[in-house]
Amino acid sequence: MKSNSPKPGARLTSAEEAVSAADEAAELCDDDKYGEALEAFAHVLKYQSANETECDDLGLTRGHLLSNMAICCQHIGDWARMKKLTAELVEEGHPDGLCLHAVALHHGGNLDEALETISRAIDAAPNDPDCHQERAGILLARGDVDGAMNAFGMAVDIGADAEELLADDDLAALKTDPRVRELTQPRKPSKRALALPLFARLQAWSELFAKRGDLQFLDGKSEPVRAASAVQLTPGPAPASAAKAYPADAKRFADKAKRFAFAYRGKNDASVEGHLFLSLEGERAEVTLDDDPEAFFLEHDELGTGIATFSVRSRGRAPSILWSVEDRQTFASLEEYLTEGARRAFAYGGREPFGCWQQRPRATPLARMSVPRWTTDEALVRALTARGAKPDVAEELVNWLGKDVVLLLPREEQ
């Protein structure tokens, strides 16, 4: 059966033919024929430039073609051409433009400009592991091994596979660094169970967190408060009638506090912010779901962020904590809910795709301001103790949160 696609290099006469030619160029990439693919994409780009509206309607945009051409250049090592292509992407505001431009600058020998560019890329997309991977490569090329390790750790924390990162020739020097082993090896489970109840752990966590000098703590009206007043706690117990509204372990927490709240923001970084407004008073929520459960507030949204979390008790089922009405994701217990929150410092970022902490990867912007995740457990316990925790409490926090306990420790105090 004859293909309707034009022959490579043949004159293109319609947007449909241009799309087919671009698809064939992509297949050349799949076959590792990047040189041929580059020229094929360039041929399509000429047609697209002269027939932009027609091609855009079919999803064949200039940015799409330029980024594919840049990636081809990366594979064949044509850094000069890649630099020109990615400069156009940056000018057009393409989402991958800054990261790809940093790659071209890096391998073209412009390390200072590459570092400045990748920093801009991370500011624009802090949860893109490719950006942190490229930053690690640039910093290694500059001789900053510690900085490269931190960027590597951020990429892994976001979700990049460590082994795949280490297969990158630019990061080969990290393979023998013992900190990589600390970061990537599965953490051995503690031989002892957690000794402190959930309330005591969260209280210890929040008291240490409030000692971070790079954060400003707020009341329910977004007004600054002293660190000593950062946690607003209403002693328990909650009304007996409220017990049925929540998972079973919530009652033990409510015996100590029926309300536990704090809010913070970065003093010098607007992207750093978070809050917890835990309420276990059994107040019914206004929102119900189509399967007609009883819904009770778990968090009161005191700052008006638009985020509300409910404990949902459906007919015939145990209470579970719901934070996503759309996909019905739930937590089975208050322990699970608050543990995941503490692992992310209850971070909230209304200006980012990941808005509330329940949806964020663990590498919140706060992680960039904290000690590296490759810090050993022993060093973390020492650091927490130096900040006022009793040694057994420090060990308990590391046992509870693992490497996520670094969010209690500002980087400058490493």
CATH 1.25.40.10 given to domain 15-184: yes
What is the per-residue pLDDT across 363-374, written as a single tens digit (0 to 9) for each?
567 887 898 888
* pLDDT in the model for residue 181: 79
Cα–Cα distance between 98 and 170 in angstroms, integer?
Answer: 18
Cα–Cα distance between 34 and 36 in angstroms, integer?
Answer: 5
**Averaged over 83-103, what is the pLDDT?**
96
- Enumerate residues 6+ apart whose C-beta is below 8 A from 170: 106, 136, 137, 140, 141
**CA-angle at 121, arms to 60 and 22, nearest 5°:** 20
pLDDT at residue 24 is higher than 80: yes
Q: Tell me the C-alpha to C-alpha distance, in Å, between residue 10 and each of 24, 45, 59, 60, 128.
A: 13, 13, 21, 18, 38
Cα–Cα distance between 129 and 336 in angstroms, integer?
Answer: 26
Cα–Cα distance between 63 and 55 in angstroms, integer?
Answer: 12
- Enumerate residues 6+ apart whose C-beta is below 8 A from 123: none
pLDDT at residue 190 is higher than 60: no
Residue listed under structure tokens 């650091």: 383
The answer to whether 79 and 106 are in contact (CB under 8 A) is: no
Confidence grade of residue 326 (pLDDT, cut at 50, 70, 90): low
Task: Specify the pTM.
Answer: 0.72
Domain definitions of the chain by residue range = 15-184, 198-413
List helix spans (H) across 210-288: 250-256
Cα–Cα distance between 29 and 35 in angstroms, integer?
Answer: 9
Residue listed under structure tokens 């912010």: 273
What is the per-residue pLDDT across 62-75, written as a single tens digit (0 to 9) for each?
999 999 999 999 99
Confidence grade of residue 305 (pLDDT, cut at 50, 70, 90): low
Report the range of poorest mean pLDDT among 35-44, 111-120, 131-140, 184-193: 184-193
What is the per-residue pLDDT across 138-176, written as a single tens digit (0 to 9) for each?
999 999 999 999 899 888 877 788 889 999 999 999 999
